Amino acid sequence: MRLMIIMLLLIPLLTGCETVQKGIKDIKAAIDPDAPRPKAEPTRSADQLLTAGVAAYEEGSYGQAQRLLQSSLAEGIPTRTNQARAYKYLAFIYCVTDRAAQCREEFNNAFSADPNFTLTAAESGHPSWGPVYRSVSRGR
């Protein structure tokens, strides 16, 4: 009977052992400078950030898309075409969220990045950003 009571008391303790062991390893790693460190999450390149930003835009996650696109530009997108692409999607985000001045600025940035920047016929006909794009492109 006594053994049974001891076992019943130990069961809750033993079920938490894995968590306790992980916690102990984390503490040892923090204290011991020679302990192996977990690998840092790999950073994404500017082009990967651009791709992720466009995907977020297409999913309708405009806030996330904006952050990713701005990060891609800050990281230094290597080609002028892709720089203009990032600015284009930022312009789209600003236009569909009723921020026309910022939309205009991003289209200007797109033209500055790539003087050959254009929208497709379908894109330039969009009711939100089409008029802003046409206004900016006429002024060039």
Q: Is residue 38 part of a domain?
A: no
| % of the chain surpassing 90 pLDDT | 67
In a domain, 26, yes or no: no
66 part of a folded domain: yes
**94: confidence class by pLDDT, cuts 50, 70, 90:** very high
Which amino acid, one-letter code, is at 85? R
Identify whether the C-beta of residue 133 lies closer than 8 Å to the C-beta of residue 107.
yes
11 is a domain residue? no
What pLDDT, on a 0 to 100 scale, did the predictor assign at position 44?
A: 85
Is the entire prediction scored with pTM above 0.75?
no
Q: What are phi and psi of 84, to 5 degrees?
A: -60, -35
Q: Which domain holds residue 80?
A: 46-138
**Residue 99 belongs to some domain of the structure:** yes
Domain count along the chain: 1
106 found inside a domain: yes
Among the ranges given (31-40, 101-110, 117-126), the one the predictor scored with the smallest mean pLDDT: 31-40
Domain presence at residue 107: yes
Residue 121 maps to which CATH number? 1.25.40.10
**Quick check: 44 and 52 in contact, CB under 8 A?**
yes
Does 30 map to a domain?
no
Chain mean position to CA 24: 33
pLDDT at 139: 85
Kindly report, residue by residue over 4-60, the tens digit of the pLDDT: 555 445 454 445 555 545 555 555 555 666 666 555 545 789 999 999 999 999 999
